[in-house]
Amino acid sequence: MSTNNGTSKGMNIHVRRFIAYAVLGILSFLCLIWFYILFINATRSNSELGRGFTILPGGYLLTNWNNLIHGTLPIMSGMLNSIIIAGLSAGLCVYFSCMTAYAIHAYNFKGKKAIFTFILMIMMIPTQVTVLGFISFMGKLGLMDSFVPLIVPSIAAPVVFFYMKQYMDSNLPLSLLEAARIDGSGEFSTFNRIVIPLMKPAIAVEAIFTFVSSWNNYFTPALIISSDNKKTLPILIAQLRSADWLKFDMGQVYVMIAFSIFPVIVVYLVLSKYIVGGVTAGGVKE
């Protein structure tokens, strides 16, 4: 009897494992198929794209790339501009959001709950509601057509702050901070040498999300930037898609989109190792 029960349990485990792998395989396929379609279309000419999709790649990848590079749009400067804006935005956002969450988590002061509630309330205000006032303010400061309005405001990111605060509540015991203070560690030293290493998984996750969000942002840069040599890739992609029908080339559009995806993939590959590695190395329980 016990042998039959053991056999049935083993079969159930294998069935559940098979179902889990099948579901994960289907989800992975649905996530990756769109990238495959993108890169296949990047290898085809405009006339071939008009005839529909094919599974096999074409032979126009280099042609599309040469036409794109030697076109009228400053592709390379757009890539550099997007890297600068997205990189600085991600770095400033995660560092100062983590610092703000640390202040709320580690200190007791008057108005602490009110400040926390106020920050969460700001999360409910969409960017489109405040953009007119923001542009007017940037114009008065003389910061239009510059990178500053696209980088500095990322310091105040309520969503990132909330995620950091929730992560600290479960992974950063106050006893560890008190022990550091007893050992003579200053507040900035404690934050940079103890808190930041323990927050690596959360920092990696939010850095990826913030980088991708800033990288794909079209709305605000389109209102702020007017010079061609300062435009980001989303603006240039929109300009390429809206070209006159005589000059329109869908192959170039696909090549440019594929070109713009590579930095995002690199950032994910670099930071993803800290998500798992930071959990195993920095998990401290009170």
Predicted confidence (pLDDT) per residue in 224-259, tens digit: 998 988 999 999 988 888 766 667 788 888 899 888
- Report yes or no: 255 and 64 within 8 Å, Cβ to Cβ: yes
Locus of tokens 């070209």: 243
Q: What is the DSSP string of 149-196?
A: HHHGGGG--HHHHHHHHHHHHHH--HHHHHHHHHTT--HHHHIIIIIH
pLDDT digit string, tens, across residues 190-227: 888 889 988 888 898 889 989 999 999 998 999 999 89
For the stretch 130-147, what's the b/e string if a residue is b when 16 or more beta carbons lie within 10 angstroms of its beta carbon?
eeeebeeebeeeeeeeeb
Q: What pTM value is reported for the model?
A: 0.83
Residue type (1 letter), 113: K
Determine the Cα–Cα distance for residues 211 and 158; give it in Å rounded to an integer.
Answer: 16
Residue-level pLDDT at 277: 54
Mean pLDDT, rounded, of the chain: 85
d(CA 218, CA 227) in angstroms, rounded, equals: 15
Torsion of CA 264, 267, 273, 278, to 10 degrees: -110
Q: Is the pLDDT of residue 177 over 50?
A: yes
Q: How far is CA 169 from CA 70, 101, 239, in A?
A: 53, 10, 45
51 to 45, 46, 74, 247: CA distances (angstroms): 10, 9, 30, 18
